[in-house]
């Protein structure tokens, strides 16, 4: 069965520090991979996605993620965190067919200290 794990439920970093949010997946084939962010009172916003090609993917707001097939991982990174990055982050996998019946990870809540 497909599954996504995000080992860290809650992470706190200082503003300006680097960030890495972990994501591991279990999937029978090469999936599509996504990171979404949900800020307080907002919907889910797509940060970035991996379909194929370059395994280092650039997204919005200065985020990037690297697909590592050997580790079944798709970790999200940002070199310098801003206070506005405080939110909940979700990793998701989707099938390579029409339709995105995503399987989401449990989410990682990010707090940013001034």
Partner 1 sequence: EAGVTQFPSHSVIEKGQTVTLRCDPISGHDNLYWYRRVMGKEIKFLLHFVKESKQDESGMPNNRFLAERTGGTYSTLKVQPAELEDSGVYFCASSQFGNTEAFFGQGTRLTVV
Find the shortest distance in angstroms from Cβ 111 to partner 1.
Answer: 17
Tell me the site size for partner 1, rule CB under 8 A. Answer: 24
Asked if residue 87 lies in contact with residue 37, where contact means CB atoms within 8 angstroms, the answer is yes
Specify the 3-state DSSP secondary structure of 21: strand
Question: Is residue 61 classed as helix, strand or coil in its secondary structure?
Answer: helix
Footprint of partner 1 on residues 32-51 (CB under 8 A)? Answer: 32, 36, 41-46, 49, 51
C-beta of 15 vs 103, nearer to partner 1:
103
Site string for partner 1, 52-91 (x = CB under 8 A): --------------------------------------x-
31: its two tokens: 């999936």
How far is it, in rounded angstroms, from Cα 41 to Cα 18? 25
Question: Which residue, 78, 71, 59, 70, is CA-closest to 21?
Answer: 78
Give the interface with partner 1 as residue ranges (CB under 8 A): 32, 36, 41-46, 49, 51, 90, 92, 94, 96, 98-107
């Amino acid at each position: 069965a497909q599954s996504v794990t995000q080992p860290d439920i809650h992470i706190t970093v200082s503003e300006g520090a680097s960030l890495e949010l972990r994501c591991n997946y279990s999937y029978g084939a090469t999936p599509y991979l996504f990171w979404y962010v949900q800020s307080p009172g907002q919907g889910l916003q797509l940060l970035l996605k991996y379909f194929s090609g370059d395994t280092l993917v650039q997204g919005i707001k200065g985020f990037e993620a690297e697909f590592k097939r050997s580790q079944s991982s798709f970790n999200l990174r940002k070199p310098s965190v801003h206070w506005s990055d405080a939110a909940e982050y979700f990793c998701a996998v989707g099938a390579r067919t029409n339709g995105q019946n995503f399987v989401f990870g449990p989410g990682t809540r990010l707090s940013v200290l001034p």
